[in-house]
Amino acid sequence: MNENPADLVPELALLGVAVLGLLTGSWLPRRRQWIVALLAATACTTGLVATAVTMATDRERTVFSAAFAVDTATGIGRLVVLTGLLLVIGMSVGTVRNHERETEYWVLLLLSGAGTLALTGADDLLMLFAAYLLAGLPAYALTAFAKDGRGTEAALKYYLTGALLGTLMLAGTALLYGAGHTTHYRGLSTALPTAPYGLVAVGLIGVLAGLLFKSGAVPAHFWVPDVTEGAPVPVAAYVATLPKVGGLIALYRLLHQAFSGSDVNWPLLLAILAGVTMTLGNLAAFFQTSVTRLLAYSTISQAGYLLMALAVATRSDLAQKGLLFYLAAYTVTNLGAFAVVTALPHARTLTDYRGLARRRPGLAAVLVVCLLGLVGTPPTGVFLGKLEVFSATLDGGFTWLAVLAVANTVASLFYYLRWFGPLFVTHDSAPARVQEVAGRSSAATAYVAATLSVALGVAGQAVLTLSEGPLLR
């Protein structure tokens, strides 16, 4: 049995620095609390290096009674989450600088990040639930970080939804344990095919509830728009993007590893969920005027496209690399769009972006890249991700779902273009103070994210190669 902590460097780095940061922060004067941000960034970088080393050398192993798998999906998940965390840190610097609770912000972010990492590697239902809680609880607190009315309401809604669906998830875990007499995926995969059908089906739905909540997918999506609008924008960026990575990889692993032999028709269930999620997200995004709400519904629709890969998890060899690549591309692209919103704190509605291309050509270019990226226009990373996911869906036999996704992509173009159009208005642009840029770090983060997004599209081969390895049981 492998209990070597060196296999968990990324997770431990985040947890360790969270504790260290909390201690350091309580002794630091307020204007020096940026040191904690630096520590947090160091932790992420350490994690990235460790992941790179693990993936470059011996790639696969399971740790701690095989409750946690270090394999392809975990590796890519770590790379994506840690890169995402670095981007979130980059765009937060300007917002929380010299805030009275700055240290707490970084610590909560690190803890939630560690939970998300744990989600990607969880190979056991109890581990999965623990990771669910660790990823969620700090995020609830972060949502209310500004201590204003809207933030508190958003946090309450987020927390209540999370608690309710978490309970369902726990109940589902109990049922599956009852059906399979184990919580470990490998054990479940042998036990579930012979277990009572109803028990397995209801148990799966319970666990699904929690993971769909993390992914922001229908029917557990109600919190997304409220939290995205109520929370501080960098927190919104985090909450709308990274837990999705954790949730979807966890779900993929669960379905692929534990339910591969089960006769519960989960592919169809997930295909339907995917279709409903993308359609609902897109329709609701149509007439939004607030940029954060628009992005919120856009992330719901993106969750729908991602779920397509899960529906064909065991039916197509293309599903895994499609999912992992799409997640990587989606993370940088979505964070890029959020970084622009953070950089322009006074511009909250679509009309506030009128004439941005003239005044801030750089930020407008980032928005163009990111919004076109979210549509799936080449040569951005999301295009390649969509290509892989569509291929996987057709390969897995869900032609109707692929056609629906195409229809949805077209529909999504409409609202992305509604944001897109005002940027290039030449007369009657928004007042200059609305488009004031807050600090340099958010803008810099936006440039980095947009560059990564295009780089993933043009030279995506590296990530695709990495994401083709097998999963461990």
For residues 286 and 410, give the distance between their C-alpha atoms in angstroms, rounded to a whole number: 12
Binding marks (x or -) toward another protein, 417..436, rule CB under 8 A? x---x--x-x----------
CB of 42 to another protein, least distance (A): 33
CB of 247 to another protein, least distance (A): 25
CB of 443 to another protein, least distance (A): 17
CB of 451 to another protein, least distance (A): 14
Distances (CA, A) of 105 to 16, 17, 238, 273: 16, 13, 12, 34
For residues 322 and 343, give the distance between their C-alpha atoms in angstroms, rounded to a whole number: 31
Task: Look up residue 215 and give its two tokens.
Answer: 């992914």
Q: Which stretch binds another protein (CB under 8 A): 39-47, 76-84, 218-226, 397-405?
A: 397-405
**Number of residues lying near another protein (CB under 8 A):** 30
DSSP state letters, 291-333: HHHHHHHHHHHHHHHHHHHHHTTTT-TTHHHHHHHHHHHHHHH
Using CB under 8 A as the binding rule, whether residue 159 contacts another protein is answered as: no
Using CB under 8 A as the binding rule, whether residue 379 contacts another protein is answered as: yes
CB of 379 to another protein, least distance (A): 6
Using CB under 8 A as the binding rule, whether residue 395 contacts another protein is answered as: yes
For residues 211 and 282, give the distance between their C-alpha atoms in angstroms, rounded to a whole number: 21
For residues 178 and 407, give the distance between their C-alpha atoms in angstroms, rounded to a whole number: 42
Check the CA dihedral 67-72-76-79 and report its sign: positive
DSSP class of 473: -
Q: Which is nearer to another protein, 141 or 366 (CB)?
A: 366
Q: What interhelical angle do 381-395 and 399-423 show, nearest 10?
A: 160
Using CB under 8 A as the binding rule, whether residue 130 contacts another protein is answered as: no
Task: Look up residue 188 and give its two tokens.
Answer: 């479940």
CB of 397 to another protein, least distance (A): 11
Using CB under 8 A as the binding rule, whether residue 287 contacts another protein is answered as: no
Q: Which is nearer to another protein, 172 or 322 (CB)?
A: 322
Stretch 292-321 residues interacting with another protein (CB under 8 A): 321
Which residues of this protein are in contact with another protein, per CB under 8 A? Answer: 321, 372, 377-379, 383-384, 387-388, 390-391, 394-395, 399, 402-403, 406, 409-410, 413-414, 417, 421, 424, 426, 460-461, 464-465, 468
